Amino acid sequence: MTKGPNHVEFSNAPANAIDLDRYASVADLFEESIDRFSDQVAFSNFGVDLTYRALSDKADRVAAWLQHEAGIKAGDKFALMLPNCLQYPVFAVALMRLGAVLVNVNPLYTPRELTHQLNDSEAVGILVLANMANTVEACVAETAVRTVVVTELADIMPTPKRLFMNFAVKHIKKMVPAYTLSGHHRLIDILKRQDLAPAIRHQGHHDDVLALQYTGGTTGVSKGAVLTNRNILANMMQIDLLFDGYVRAGMTAIAPLPLYHVFSFVGHMMWLFKCGCTSVLVTNPRDMPTFLKVLERTPFDIFIGLNTLFVGLLKQPRFRQLDFSRLMLTVSGGMALTSAAAAEWKAVTDCDICEGYGLTETSPVVTVNPLEGIQIGTIGLPLADTECVILDEDGQLLPAGAVGELAVKGPQVMRGYWKRPEATADVMSPSGHFKSGDMGMLMDDGYFKIVDRKKDMILVSGFNVYPNEVEDVLASHPDIIEAAVVGVPDDAQGESVKAFLVSEKDVDVEALNDWCRERLTAYKVPRAFEFRDELPKTNVGKVLRRALR
């Protein structure tokens, strides 16, 4: 037990266990990995492999164009609006070499959501898949973006396959809506440029911002968590230390979770890349037949997923017939793992699921169940150099067995929210711990458990949905007087969104659903609408969401 800044006592994970001074930046670490594993496959997608050397060469070409043609410099914000595809790691490495700040964007965002994120982040450029280019077109004029790069799904692939896949996606499957983006550039043309001088690489430092990772806010406004080189390096090393002796170079990992989500971003783009592993990028895991084909033809050692995905796969007879003889590590995060899903996964694959816990603001991993001591129903033990405490409403330390707010201190905790000092102050305790908003408890054996959420946040398949944002959209409908949104249990997704509404008219629910879909990403759209004469409120008029739940 040690004394904290306010003389509160807390239990520690192993301290000073990681050597952050070994690398000045993530880019420096990546150069070491590229030299060590140059001929090994770093990423694979639709059966096309990209070695560490090939990725580096393409990233160099992109970096040269970004620096010399687009004028991108260290500190500039550049958005990536892509599903899982080979373009993502190529562009990410290029941006890191320039010291530019990567802004991850959900490719399913509506123009309204995208406008906010581009403006808030002050992005000057964006790489977008052609399938979503019409969304960029709808809002780019309202932003400071000056460089738009459009890529088609197969642009990194060899010519015969590239031409066939891009033609099929655009003309046979009709998945690319028409767009006209004046002055945009094509990634395929950038990759062909051989006349540019090599980019001058930026010498990064621990305090340089590596990424702005957006999360929801209690006000309904999405906030950018400022993640530095130090934050990401720390979490990579913490995870590496935990799985030391289990994960080796040359292993193959399945990557169905999107790289724009912080869990997959750090897991695949960062940690497994450092380890010399191959990440097999699954572009659309909801396309179950295609996903199963990938699993059938790819012997794999590591699977990173979340409860919704495990449940969906276990329902597929083809999945249950796969050869799992190489599978030695299954990691779950993003949402609570159910005991039923964990038990069935173990029965089918003979591999335990190792559940962890993290947040966007913690880069993201905080605690993990160690492989030699998995306790289903807990979030495990704190990573190295990480302090987890349970606090009461006054910020005082609670003993083991008491329920309070989980708070975290460690090198992976974000610098703060981008341009929001007040919001940052709100989530930091007097002792310097980040307050998670999750209600948990410390068990007698040192493991932690999440029991509830303090916030009104709804967790849909690992994605945060904040009620205020959905309520604002509903309340903007001309026939809706009042709206309140809560999360309800959902066997498939963990939770789904339910809306309680007050209206003096008969509202067409299908039309209301369309109204929401035009303004919100699909997972934020309510699955159920309930109309009431009035909503429960406090004596000062605040809607009581807890009463509705």
pLDDT of 15 above 80: no
**Tens digit of each residue's pLDDT (9 = 90 or more) over 41-50:** 999 999 999 9
Q: Which residue has the higher pLDDT, 452 or 61?
A: 61
CA distance 451 to 243: 26
Using the predicted structure, report yes or no on whether residue 143 has a pLDDT greater than 80: yes
**Predicted local confidence at residue 253, as pLDDT:** 98
- pLDDT of 469 strictly over 90: no
- For the stretch 502-522, pLDDT in tens is 998 999 999 999 999 999 999
* Phi, psi of 90, rounded to the nearest 5 degrees: -60, -50
Pairing of strands 77-81, 101-104: parallel
Give the total residue count for the chain.
549
- The letter for the amino acid at 27 is A
Mean pLDDT of the chain: 93
Q: How confident is the model at residue 137 (pLDDT cuts 50, 70, 90)?
A: very high
Of 69, 128, 67, 120, the C-alpha closest to 95 is 67
DSSP state of 537: B
Short-list 129, 122, 140, CA closest to 176: 129
Q: How far is CA 39 from the centre of its chain?
A: 28
Residue 216 — pLDDT band, cuts 50, 70, 90?
low
Average pLDDT over residues 439-452: 91
Token pair, residue 78, equals 């550049």
The model carries a pTM of 0.87
pLDDT band, very low/low/confident/very high, at 541 (cuts 50, 70, 90): low
The stretch 310-330 carries a mean pLDDT of: 96
Q: In the structure, what pLDDT confidence band is assigned to residue 229 with cuts at 50, 70 and 90?
A: very high
Give the three-class secondary structure for 132. Answer: helix
CA–CA gap between residue 292 and residue 342 (Å, rounded): 20
Task: State whether the Cα torsion 284-290-296-299 is positive or negative.
Answer: negative
Which domains occur in the chain, in start order? 20-349 (3.40.50.12780), 458-548 (3.30.300.30)
Per-residue pLDDT tens for 149-176? 999 999 999 999 999 999 999 999 999 9
Strand partners, 223: 215
d(Cα 387, Cα 382) in Å, to the nearest integer?
Answer: 7
Q: Is pLDDT at 220 greater than 60 in this prediction?
A: no
Tokens representing 486 are: 């809560």
Q: What is the pLDDT of residue 122?
A: 98
3-state secondary structure 20-73: HHHCCCHHHHHHHHHHHCCCCEEEEECCEEEEHHHHHHHHHHHHHHHHHCCCCC
Residue 10 pLDDT exceeds 80: no
Q: Is the pLDDT of residue 5 over 90?
A: no
* Tens digit of each residue's pLDDT (9 = 90 or more) over 414-441: 999 999 999 999 999 988 999 999 989 9
